[in-house]
Amino acid sequence: MLQIQTIRDNQEDIILALGKRNIDARPLIEKVLQLDENRRAAQTSLDNILAESNKISKEIGVLYKTGKAQEANSLKEQTVKLKEESKQLGNDLNAVEEELQTLLYQLPNAPHTSVKKGSTEDDNEEIFNEGEVPKLVEGALPHWELAKKYDIIDFELGVKIAGAGFPVYKGKGARLQRALIAYFLDKNTEAGYTEIQVPHLVNELSGYGTGQLPDKEGQMYHVTADDLYLIPTAEVPVTNIFRDVIVNESDFPITYTGYTPCFRREAGSYGAHVRGLNRLHQFDKVEIVRVEHPSKSYEALDGMVEHVKNILRELKLPYRILRLCGGDLGFTAALTFDFEVFSTAQDRWLEISSVSNFETYQANRLKLRFKDENGKNQLAHTLNGSSLALPRVLAGILENYQTADGIKIPEVLVPYCGFDIID
């Protein structure tokens, strides 16, 4: 969440920045600042009462030692009143702090200066485009028909077992899935990311720590009996490793990669644009997460973008990069670049990665700090990116690599698959 001190010092700038998200944040910001004034006033009053109480307690001790019991007992009556006042002030302070925290959770991150104002994905800026769109054979099929033709993904069987959005991968389809996961992890570890395996369920604190709660509560699967949430992305458990942690400045950069299944309810998703692998409730994804010094985080973001570029170049898939506008920017992100692969058979772009810098927004929730050169605690910056999300990468491979004889396997994946064609 946004830091209260930052809001106090940069009220108009933050209101202007949040305007890029098409939000009139002024009423909420003003309420936040008023609550903060109330909080500070209550804290000052409480501190004064506690100081007075401590002072009187010392005086009582001196009076008893000098045989002035009557005067000491008289002062004791004052301490009783002060304790009652301090208890009430403490309750008032807790109530104000809770209300303030609730309001701060409602404020999204302030967009980076490079983010343009916009309302929908149609307002996103294409900043890079690479790769040739292949010319497909006559009668080329979308991936859901290819999956059925070659018996590599069974969508109907998934419906039988769990429901729509839970496909069953079979034979070479399952092998290709496994190959992609191994390839992505290898590319990430070669780039210096430490591989990590994390739980696929998280507690409520973890959801709040990275900003999925309360913003995306309706999109998450909630195991109510245990009050746990199935993860929507590995970003949540991996980043929460650093909740309530003070790292050393010398530890930067901290880099992790991990594979997990991801679970998203995606309520209200219907239509041809979500057919097949285009929109799932369960899917596989390999994630990269970084904890950075604030002065290095945007350099790190550029490096993450180049890293994903190199993977797509090796897969030889046509792709483009979009800088998201304010209206399409995620709640917690300051700046996001989306990667999209062109689906030749569907004649449309499919999002396959988001790479984001959250600046101090998540770190403030997580209380993720580092000691600077002066020994003072500062908030770190967090970043994450898909490297990569499998379903639409797989869709892109199936559609763009289809031939009259079958579906060729990208050369870089052949050693992982053990075959070079699906036929």
Which residue from 355, 349, 330 is spatially nearest to 400, judged by alpha carbons?
349
Residue 419 has a CB neighbour count (10 Å cut-off) of 13
- Residue 39 is assigned to a ligand binding site: no
CA quadruple 205, 210, 211, 214: dihedral, nearest 10: -20
- Residue 44 is assigned to a ligand binding site: no
Q: Among the residues of 128-195, which ranges form H helices?
A: 143-149, 155-161, 172-190
Residue 74 has a CB neighbour count (10 Å cut-off) of 12
Q: How far apart are CA 360 and CA 378, in angstroms?
A: 9
- Residue 344 is assigned to a ligand binding site: no
Q: Could you tell me the CA-to-CA distances from 146 to 139, 379, 407 in Å, in that order?
A: 11, 49, 9
Which residue from 234, 244, 176, 170 is spatially nearest to 202, judged by alpha carbons?
234
Decide: residue 117, CB within 10 A, 0-12 exposed, 13-18 middle, 19+ buried: middle
- Residue 352 is assigned to a ligand binding site: yes
- Crossing angle, helix 172-190 and helix 297-315, to 10 degrees? 140
- Residue 233 is assigned to a ligand binding site: yes
Q: How far apart are CA 147 and CA 341, in angstroms?
A: 19
Decide: residue 224, CB within 10 A, 0-12 exposed, 13-18 middle, 19+ buried: exposed
Q: What are phi and psi of 25, to 5 degrees?
A: -85, -5
Cβ atoms of 323 and 124 closer than 8 Å: yes
- Residue 351 is assigned to a ligand binding site: yes
- Residue 266 is assigned to a ligand binding site: yes
- Residue 287 is assigned to a ligand binding site: yes
Annotated binding site: 233, 264-266, 287, 351-354, 384
Residues forming the annotated binding site for ATP?
264-266, 351-354
Which residues belong to the annotated binding site for L-serine? Answer: 233, 264, 287, 384
